[in-house]
Structure 1
Amino acid sequence: MTLEERKAEARKEAFALRKAAFDTRPPGAAGHLSSVLAGFRGVPLSGYMPIRTEINPLSAMAEAAAHGPVGVPVITAAGQPLTFALWEPECEMQDGAFGAQIPADLVFFEPEIVIVPLVAFTRTGGRLGYGGGFYDRTLEGLRRKRPTLAIGFAFSAQEAESLPLEATDQPLDMIVTQDGVFQIS
């Protein structure tokens, strides 16, 4: 089985686990994320607008926006890194690529913290995404310029013992779930 076939199989299994976690999610799932972000008040960060069965970071993003710039990713083209547009709670939104909402008024900036959605993760910082490589390209570019903290945000049910990863897959620095925080050394 090729690496891509192994990734496709891992994604299929992880999507099922994520959906089950989403369907039974408790209220306040972003509580630990809020606590983590409180330690970085004012640092430019990007969250994401949740789609499908992704865990929802919006309450933590809204709290962070009271103290500094918060944005969301914008897909400009396949094969390109993400750009980030400033976001505020209640700002006017429009449809972006893949069904994710983006601000109607696109004011771009570069975050120093990126909250990363995912399909599956390992406690060693491995991340399986949707397969487009957007976050891998983006984190690689941001990290070339300055230290950039990548925080994976997921349901604890999305944890995997191991994942089929390749050299271009950017590691996470921390994983936050509804149950707690995993700091990657």
Structure 2
Amino acid sequence: MAAAKAAIRAEAKARRAAAHGSTDPAPAHAALAALLGASAGQIVAGYAPIGTEIDPLPALAPLAATHRLCLPVTHGRGRPLSFRAWVPGQALGPAGFGTSAPLEAPELVPRVLVVPLLAFDRLGGRMGYGAGHYDRTLAMLRARGPVQAWGLAYAAQEFDALPQEPTDQPLDGIVTEQGVLRSAPGI
């Protein structure tokens, strides 16, 4: 399984890099803002992008008046993320794993997460960088109550099927420049 995942990650990075330079993310931003707009009053986690990840912050910024927003902080390999309150325009600092977040802001517990990824499939499968941060975090949050997790990606990052392990946490759906793809029922 490790070899299969490594091959998919390499191909997914290449697909994402190609899409990043040639695909307008504005339709994905609009679809994400519309999707999240229905969850007014919720605490929503985004992320500060690494490399060629789609930046969700332009879609989240307009929601600041109706939602509490936060960004993840990484605490080392094998540990779940924590989340710090974020408002548009706030200064960000290094938050581990190449990401940024407000470092002096209070911690929040999100119920809706926008999740970065390398690859996805239509069954809710997600493949990240392999450190398991989001899988551990989603498992912890879901043990406490309902949580929605939405991937944000270019359509080019879709694979027919991703290998999944018992610890892999499914997504509720994916938002791309082509619209919202909801995962199969029962996921």
TM-score with structure 2 setting the length:
0.95
Structure 1 stretches lacking a partner, 5+ long = none
Map of 2:174 onto structure 1 = 175
For the pair 1:124 / 2:123, whether they are aligned, the reply is yes
Residue pair 1:70, 1:87 contacting (<8 A) in 2 also = yes
Map of 1:149 onto structure 2 = 148
Per-residue deviation, residues 91-144 of structure 1 (Å, max 9, x unmatched): 111122122111032310100001110000001100011000000000000000
Map of 1:24 onto structure 2 = 22
d(CA) in 1 for partners of 2:39 and 2:108?
17
Map of 2:72 onto structure 1 = 73
State the shift of 1:25 in Å.
2.2
Map of 1:9 onto structure 2 = 7
State the shift of 1:173 in Å.
0.6
d(CA) in 2 for partners of 1:93 and 1:108?
14
Aligned partner letter, 2:97: F
Aligned partner letter, 2:136: R
State the shift of 1:65 in Å.
1.5
Structure 2 stretches lacking a partner, 5+ long = none
d(CA) in 1 for partners of 2:91 and 2:169?
32
d(CA) in 2 for partners of 1:5 and 1:41?
42
Map of 1:102 onto structure 2 = 101
Alignment root-mean-square deviation, CA: 1.0
Aligned partner letter, 2:24: P
Map of 1:39 onto structure 2 = 38
Which contiguous aligned blocks of 4+ residues in structure 1 show a shift greater than 4 angstroms? none
Identity percentage of aligned residues: 44
d(CA) in 2 for partners of 1:163 and 1:153?
16
Which SS does the other structure have where 2:72 is aligned? strand
Which SS does the other structure have where 2:137 is aligned? helix
Residue pair 1:33, 1:60 contacting (<8 A) in 2 also = yes
Residue pair 2:47, 2:56 contacting (<8 A) in 1 also = yes
d(CA) in 1 for partners of 2:123 and 2:25?
27
- Residues matched between the structures, number: 183
d(CA) in 2 for partners of 1:37 and 1:45?
8
Residues 18-27 or 168-177, more deviating: 18-27
Residue pair 1:42, 1:64 contacting (<8 A) in 2 also = no
Residue pair 1:118, 1:129 contacting (<8 A) in 2 also = yes
Map of 2:133 onto structure 1 = 134
Which SS does the other structure have where 2:62 is aligned? helix
d(CA) in 2 for partners of 1:74 and 1:158?
25
State the shift of 1:183 in Å.
1.4
d(CA) in 2 for partners of 1:121 and 1:55?
14
Map of 1:54 onto structure 2 = 53
